[in-house]
Amino acid sequence: MENKLNYKKTFILGFGFFAISITWSVYNAFMPLLLGNYLKSAALIGFIMTIDNYLALFIQPTVGFYSDKIKTRFGRRMPFIMIGMPLAALFMFLIPNTKSLASLIFALLFMNLSMSIYRSPVIALMPDITAKQHRSKSNSIINFMGGVGSLIAYFIGGKLYELNEGYPFILSATLIVFSFIVLFTRIKEQRDVLHYEAAEEKRNLSEGLSIALRDKSTRYLLLAICSWFIGFNGVETFFTKYGVSYLGIKPSDATLTLSFISLSFLIFAIPAGLIGTKIGKKNTIRIGIIGAVILMLGVFFIKPGTDNMLLFMRILFLGIGFSWASININSYPLVADMSPVGLLGTYTGVYYLFSSIANIISPPLLGGLIDLIGYQIVFAYGAFFFALAFVFISRVHDKRVENTQ
């Protein structure tokens, strides 16, 4: 069983990431518009939109740790999924049906809390049911499913929003429930998990986190993860404004251009996993980082009014999407490979902890640089943090990683 990837189970597990992706895509695209019905301050709306990252700082490592510890007839991860997914669907449904700012804040706060309860466990299920040598391929399939969820949110959700501002949230709630039913009925931990990694000694949460942060290679890997998410989040957050204010293009042209990254990521998700399996996760990530640095510098040198400006930029964005897939598809499996026995869920939570830190740091950091220098700094900023990530990932030397190269 360990020598062959179970593609059917992997696609079924992908519905968990599908639900996560469509929910966050709908939330990020349409929640600012709902908040705008009550609030005029963009800064306040922006702060409210980062609540999920603040919750992730505390809840996801904790949930990940306890999903390593508990033992139930449903397994270790499934109890958290059984609580989190139905509640997330409920609060996504309630969000557009609120009648005041207070009730809207209540609904979005508990939606974020519900997502934090099940995100780490549903992702940790992937290495639970997948042999180490197949984790890149498995993660590529799961991310492909997530990409499908995002495309549904942007294309179908956008059309639905024109009919009624609540319809995208109802679509998301419905698909969360559908995904939960698929997961709960088709994934049985007692049957499907290859083996739970049992620690030789009992550890508490602080000891688990200390082990993750004390290990030098793990620390460098987490710093690399934080760095490339800072770079990518900054570009993603400010590109529409960059396009309008610096390049002088229409908002619709800017968002269409940005979608080239998402499209190429989706196309290259599964090949990136296959490459990671063939030449090693760390090697594939380093190639992806080099590509991202070169391509972002290429975008940086495109000046407003350049002939065929949008065509060149979209070609470069296709390459950035390929590079981002090489990095993102292989990063979590690399973290899972480095997890000591019995701390897989904890390491999953720490992975999301550092990506959340990046998402908190990046918007105000790049925003401040834009205020000082101007929008031309956006892609130099992205290239710098990806280059910093290359320095950190090159410092990762671990026998558990080297054995999977």
Dmax over CA atoms of the chain, in Å, equals 64
Contact 169, 95 (CB under 8 A): yes
Question: Nearest to residue 332, comparing CAs of 178, 142, 179?
Answer: 142
> Which 3 state secondary structure label does DSSP give 195?
coil
Structural domain 7-191, CATH architecture: Up-down Bundle (1.20)
Query: Cα separation of 89 and 62, whole Å?
Result: 22
Q: What does the domain layout of the chain look like in residue ranges?
A: 7-191, 210-402
Report pTM: 0.77
Instruction: Write out the two tokens for 51.
Output: 């609540």
In degrees to the nearest 10, what's the CA dihedral of 69, 112, 220, 239?
Answer: 160
Q: Which CB contacts under 8 angstroms, 24+ apart, belong to 177-181?
A: 177/85, 177/86, 177/89, 178/15, 179/15, 179/16, 179/18, 179/19, 179/85, 180/19, 180/81, 180/85, 180/86, 180/89
Instruction: Write out the two tokens for 361.
Output: 């740091």
Q: What is the pLDDT along the chain (405 residues), one digit of tens a residue?
A: 456 788 888 999 999 999 998 998 888 778 878 888 898 776 677 778 778 888 877 887 788 778 877 888 898 899 999 999 999 999 999 999 999 999 999 999 999 999 989 988 888 888 888 887 888 888 889 989 988 888 888 778 878 887 898 999 999 999 999 999 999 999 988 777 765 554 434 455 566 667 767 888 889 999 999 999 999 988 887 887 888 889 988 877 887 788 888 889 889 999 999 999 899 999 999 999 999 999 999 999 998 988 889 999 999 999 999 999 999 999 989 988 888 877 777 788 888 889 889 988 888 888 888 888 988 999 999 999 999 999 999 999 865 555 444
Distances (CA, A) of 160 to 170, 176, 275, 388: 10, 17, 38, 41
Choose the CATH number for 210-402 among 3.40.50.10490, 1.20.1250.20, 3.40.50.300, 3.40.190.10.
Answer: 1.20.1250.20
Question: Nearest to residue 18, comparing CAs of 189, 183, 164?
Answer: 183
